[in-house]
Amino acid sequence: MKLDLESGKMNSENKIIDLENSLFVKLLGNSPYIRVLDFLLVYRDFDYSKKEIAENANVSYNTLNSFWHEMLNNGIIVKTRRIGKQDMFRLNQESKLVKSLILVFDSIAAESIAEQKQGIAESKIRA
């Protein structure tokens, strides 16, 4: 199951953000750790199972497990609840480190949006 961008819900159509074209990923490197961070930063208000995080960040479950405890121990993610046999996790927005990451992420996103708007405006002027 993948996240539907418009509804914020999971669906079976396998549609998700294009992580390879994410400016955050381009600037920091297209590694599994950065792709997971990117996904969690974009969807910071929701919680997910490890399986959902791996699928939506386009990393294997085993790869996610290789750095999962590091993310937990550093306070980047927190367990929010348990649904059946699955633990749910989200970005720990109370962490000072995560607050700094959010500022950087939001600045990169704002700059990207400003550049896109400028490009659209320039193309309309030429047309």
pLDDT in tens, 12-47: 445 455 555 688 898 888 999 999 999 999 999 999
Determine the CATH number of domain 2-126: 1.10.10.10
pLDDT tens for 107-125 read: 988 887 877 777 676 666 7
Cα–Cα nearest to 102, from 110, 70, 19: 110
pTM: 0.77
